[in-house]
Amino acid sequence: MSDLPRRAVTRTVKLAALPLGYAGRATWGLGKRITGYSADLVGTELQQRTAEQLFKVLGELKGGAMKLGQALSVFESALPEDLAKPYRAALTKLQEAAPPLPAATVHAVLAERVGEDWRDLFEEFEDRPAAAASIGQVHRAVWHDGRVVAVKVQYPGAGEALVSDLNQLSRFSRLLGPMVPGMDVKPLITELRDRITEELDYALEADAQRAYAEEFADDPDVVVPHVVYQADQVLVTEWLEGTPLSEVIAEGSQEDRDRAGQLLARFLFGGTARTGLLHADPHPGNFRLLSDGRLGVMDFGTVDRLPDGLPPTIGTALRLTLDGEAEEVYSLLREEGFVKESIELDPDAILEYLLPIIEPASVEEFEFSRGWIRDQAARIADRRSPAHQLGKQLNLPPEYLLIHRVTLSTIGVLCQLKASVRMRDELEGWLPGFLDEEEDEGAGTKVPLSK
């Protein structure tokens, strides 16, 4: 029934084509150089071919391979510009689309999971998918009561594919690492693998989306579609009309970029504070900018359950760092396990390491850019720099891993948007510990942005 490549051998061969294909193209490039083509021309063409193969392989495999591609796509802002251009186009495609499954396969899944009379639930059902992602694809339809809905259908064999892909990709992590300077890809793959079971469970996703939809009902800034129906491997929600964030990134006005960026930051911190759930998949394909100026949010398959909101340690550490309290920051990081007991570090050096990274929180309004994030990535990735040496000695406790990834991903999207964001406003309003105890009494409410 499935057109998704499931056999481990088949998928491993396809994944192996990534590094092998790169080696082959490198040899091809050397041949071009020998025959007189310029290094710049050959390099550009080589990168373009590599990027095209990356999209082809990850997109065809879907599963964990595409999931990694989507996770990496939000970090492309950190790539040097000469490398970023070809990868940007290929990886951004993974945020919105992938080669779809045939209609016959989709119909078979619906018949098996919903029932042979599944068509009775819909007035209309569009066979051509509106979007295809890592473990499922979405079809536009009209529910039997007239509501326009999004029907999310999980790929048959998606669970096996996810496990197989991520296990194999772990072996290639060193080859994938250079795509994102300053980031260790292997822990990202491990963390994605740990979330597989949750993301495959559409009942859990429906529960998380219901919680968000209830909390944000009638919200002036954020829209979350309500859940209409859920069955095994099938999830039906209200349709969300709007401009995909990838289009805002590509061709949106500065006003739209700034608004989308401000609301994205607000959703990251405010959504967690209000629901006790962290939306943990912040790539542009999961967001829409609606015509009324609100931010539409989709896909709650990956969430972190934080009933008390984000840990106060994060806000407290930010506040103390901005205040220049080196000893207090060092003590807090050691207490929380960011600095292991067996290691002694210079508190002032930690302050110097952190301050450039948290610059957006130090000013009234910050202009995110690809240049800024590239500078941060280069500073940390350069093996000769003090920042790199210190960063190697810091530890990331497991309970902060997903929060860290989501924060970095959101910053990556803000840099893609080139948005000017009042980040400090959102931190003061929603992040526990960012204000001292007296100031913190008024936190937790935000005035909606003007339309």
343 in any annotated domain: yes
> pLDDT band at 54, cuts 50/70/90?
low
pLDDT band at 85 (very low <50, low <70, confident <90, very high): low
> What integer pLDDT is reported at residue 81 of this predicted model?
56
Among 121, 163, 113, residue whose Cα is nearest residue 142: 121
Q: What is the mean pLDDT of residues 63-80?
A: 52
Question: Is there a domain that residue 65 lies in?
Answer: yes
Stretch 41-64: mean pLDDT, rounded? Answer: 47
- Span 66-92, mean pLDDT? 53
Residue 228: what residue type? V
- Domain co-membership, 192 together with 247: no
**pLDDT digits over 403-436, tens only?**
988 898 899 899 999 999 999 999 999 999 999 8
149 or 301: which leads in pLDDT: 149
110 contact partners, CB below 8 Å, separation of at least 6:
118, 153, 234
Q: Is residue 291 domain-resident? A: yes
pLDDT per residue over 361-413, tens digit each?
999 999 999 889 888 888 887 778 888 889 888 888 878 888 988 898 899 89
Residue 150 lies in a domain: no
Q: What total of structural domains would you count in the chain?
A: 2
Q: Which domain holds residue 384?
A: 243-451
Report if pTM > 0.85. no
* 55 and 183 assigned to the same domain: yes
Phi then psi dihedrals of residue 210, to 5 deg: -60, -40
More confident residue, 55 or 418: 418
Catalytic annotation present for 281: yes
Catalytic one among 165, 281, 299, 304?
281
Residue 120 lies in a domain: no
Q: Is the pLDDT of residue 199 over 90?
A: no
Quick one: which of 172, 292, 245, 250 has its CA closest to 409? 245
* Burial degree of 78 (CB within 10 A; 0-12, 13-18, 19+): buried
pLDDT of residue 306: 94
Task: pLDDT band for 445, please (50, 70, 90 cuts).
Answer: low
pLDDT at 194: 67
Q: CB burial class (10 A; 0-12, 13-18, 19+) of residue 258?
A: buried
Question: Under 8 Å CB-to-CB from 48, ≥6 apart: which residues?
Answer: 86
64 has a pLDDT exceeding 50:
no
Region 82-99: mean pLDDT is 52
Task: Give the pLDDT of residue 61.
Answer: 47
Together in a domain, 358 and 427: yes
What φ, ψ does residue 230 adopt, rounded to 5°? -145, 135
pLDDT-based confidence at residue 187 (cuts at 50, 70, 90): low
The whole-number pLDDT of residue 95 equals 45
Q: What is the pLDDT of the chain when averaged over all its residues?
A: 78
Least confident of 43-47, 98-102, 235-239: 43-47
Residue 101 is assigned to a structural domain of this protein: no
Residues 293 and 367 in one domain: yes
Average pLDDT for 19-29: 37
- pLDDT at residue 90, rounded to an integer: 54
* Residue 283 tokens, joined: 């790539």
pLDDT score at 135: 75
Render 323-392 in DSSP notation, one character per residue: TT-HHHHHHHHHHTTSS-TT----HHHHHHHHHHHTGGGTSSSEE--HHHHHHHHHHHH-TTSHHHHHHH
Is 397 found in the same domain as 269?
yes
- What amino acid occupies position 140? R
Do 264 and 166 lie in one domain? The reply is: no
Q: Which tens digits make up the pLDDT trace of 245-289?
A: 999 999 999 999 999 999 999 999 999 999 999 999 888 889 999
Final residue before a domain boundary, out of 136, 167, 196: 196
> What proportion of the chain, given as a percentage, has pLDDT over 70?
66
60: three-class secondary structure by DSSP: helix
92-96, 351-355, 405-409: range with highest mean pLDDT: 351-355
pLDDT for the residue 9: 44
Co-location of 189 and 263 in the same domain: no
Given this model, what pLDDT does residue 171 score?
54
Distance between CA atoms of residues 349 and 339, nearest Å: 13
**Which tops the pLDDT comparison, 4 or 317?**
317
**Best CA proximity match to 189, nearest among 225, 153, 165:** 165
User: Buried b vs exposed e over 273-302: b needs ≥16 C-beta within 10 Å?
Assistant: bbbbbbbbbbbbbbbbbeeebbbbbbbbbb
Do residues 42 and 183 both lie within one domain?
A: yes
Q: What is the DSSP letter of 281?
A: -
